[in-house]
Amino acid sequence: MGVNPNTVGAAYRVLRDRGVIETAGRRGSRVRSAPATTGRDHIHVEVPEGVRDVSSGNPDPALLPPLAGAFAAAAAQGDGAPVLYGDVAVEPELARLARAGLDADGVPDGPLAVVSGSLDAVERVLEAHLRPGDTVAVEDPGWGRTLDLVPALGLRTVSVRVDDEGPLPDGLRNALEAGARALIVTDRAQNPTGAAVSAARARALRSVLRAHSGTLLIEDDHGHGIVDVPLHPLAGATRHWAFVRSAAKAYGPDLRIAVLTGDRVTVDRVRGRQRLGPGWVSRVTQRALVRLWADGAVDAPAVAAAYGRRRGGLIAALAARGVAAHGVSGMNVWVPVPDETAVVARLLHAGWAVAPGARYRMSAPPGIRITVSTLMEDENGPLADAVASALGPGPARSYV
C-alpha cells in the first residue's frame, strides 16, 4: 500500500498498547475479543441449607430505614406534578444538603452530579478521561467489581498494596512512575479489608499525587453513614479528581444513588455523557433520599457503633486464638490465610460460608472476607474457633 514500515509498526504498537489487538510472534496479530463481563462473581461459595452465611457483603437489613414513607412523600411533592424532559437533573435540596456534608468533611468545592451508585460514578469518570489501553492503579486487595470494571473498559490495572491505613505510598509512587494515569481509592470501609485512610497516610498520598498532578483521582466514600472514623480526602491533589458518596450501605443498595463532585471538567463530562444515556437519576428517588436525610432516618453514630462492636468482637475472638485479622471500619473483616481453597472448604464443612479472597485481590497474598453486618455476639466464639481450626495448629498466625 506504499505505507512506510515504521508507520505501520507504530500503528501496531498503538493498537497493542490500547488493548485493541494482541500479538503472538510468528502467528501474527489479531483483534482482541470483547473483554469478559462475567467478572469474579463466579468465585463464590454456594451456601447449603443450615450453613451460616457471612460472605455476602450486605448491610444489616435491621439497620436500614424503611423507604415506603420517604417515596410516598417524594412522589407527592409539588402536588405530585411529574418531572418532564428538560427539568433540572439534580434536585436542588439534595445538592444543598450533599454540599453541606462534603464541606463539613473537607472535600473541595466543585459542581455536583447524581449517579446510579459508586460503580456507575467510577465508570463514567474513567470513560470521561481515559482511552483503552491506559493503566489504572487499583487497591490490592480491593473491591472485586472495580477489578472487573477496569479491564471491561479496555483499561489495564496495576495493583497498589493496602494496609489498615489505606494504599501504601511507595506502591502508589511505583504505579504512577510506571505510567498509571488514574488511581481509585476507597477512603473508608474499604472492601474487603476495612481499611480507612488515616491523616498521616493521606498526607503521604497527597505528596505522591502532587508530584504526578496529571493523575485522574477517584475517591469512593461508600462508607459514609456507617463508619465512625473521620474522612481524610485526597481530592484536590491533582488537576482532575472525582469524589463519590453512595447511599447504598447506609440507606439500602436498592436506592441505586450516589452524589458525585469533582473538578469542573470532569463533572461536566460526566453530566454531558449522562444526558446522552439515561438523562438523569430519578428525581423521585432523589427527593426520597432528601426526605431520609432530613428526617434523620439513619442514626449514623449508632449504626457505626453497631458495626464496630461486631467487627471488634470477632477480631478480638480471633486474636485470642492466635489468628490475625484486619477491619478498622465498615462491615467486613479480612483474615490472611495460607490456602484460601482449603480454609473456605473447611469452614463450609464446619457450618460457615465465607468469601474467598480471590474475588478481591490481584497479587496480594491469600485471605478470606467475613461480613460481620449480621453477626451476633454469641457467634464470635464459635466462628473464631472454626477459623482457627481451619487454619490448623501453630503459633500466632499473620500471613502478609
Sign of CA dihedral 217, 142, 189, 250: positive
Say if residue 27 is in the same domain as residue 83: no
Residue type present at position 208 = V
If asked whether residues 96 and 18 sit together in one domain, one would say no
Query: Where is pLDDT greater, at 156 or 39?
Result: 156
On whether both 7 and 98 belong to a single domain, the answer is no
Residues found in the chain: 400
Residue 88, domain member (yes or no): yes
Split into its structural domains, the chain has a count of 3
Q: For the segment 211-254, what is each residue's pLDDT rounded down to a tens digit?
A: 999 999 999 999 999 999 999 999 999 999 999 999 999 999 99
Beta strands 367-371 and 52-53: pairing type? unpaired
Any residues with CB less than 8 A from the CB of 234 and at least 6 apart, and which? 185, 187, 197, 202, 205, 206, 209, 217, 219, 241
Answer yes or no: is 400 within a domain: no
The stretches of 85-198 forming alpha helices (DSSP H) are: 92-104, 118-129, 144-152, 169-177
Whether 56 and 99 share a structural domain: no
Q: Is 281 domain-assigned?
A: yes
Dump pLDDT digits (tens) for 61-72: 999 999 999 999
Whether the per-residue pLDDT at 28 is higher than 80: the answer is: no
**Structure pTM?**
0.89
C-alpha cell at 130: 481515559
Same domain, 58 and 26: no
Domain contains 38:
no
Question: Are the C-beta atoms of 208 and 243 separated by less than 8 Å?
Answer: no
Q: Report the share of the chain in percent with pLDDT over 70.
A: 92
Measure Cα distances from 393 to 323, 324, 390, 396 in Å. Answer: 11, 14, 9, 9
Mean pLDDT of the chain: 92
Q: What residues make up the domain containing 190?
A: 68-294
Residues 232, 108 share a domain: yes
257-276 in b/e form (b: 16+ CB < 10 A) is: bbbbbbbeebbebbbeebee
Whichever domain contains 57, its CATH number is 3.90.1150.10
Question: Per residue in 126-169, pLDDT tens?
Answer: 999 999 999 999 999 999 999 999 999 999 999 999 999 999 99
pLDDT value of position 248: 95
pLDDT, tens digit (0-9, with 9 covering 90-100), for 244-294: 999 999 999 999 999 999 999 999 999 999 999 999 999 999 999 999 999
**Summary count for the chain: helices (H), strands (E):** 13, 15
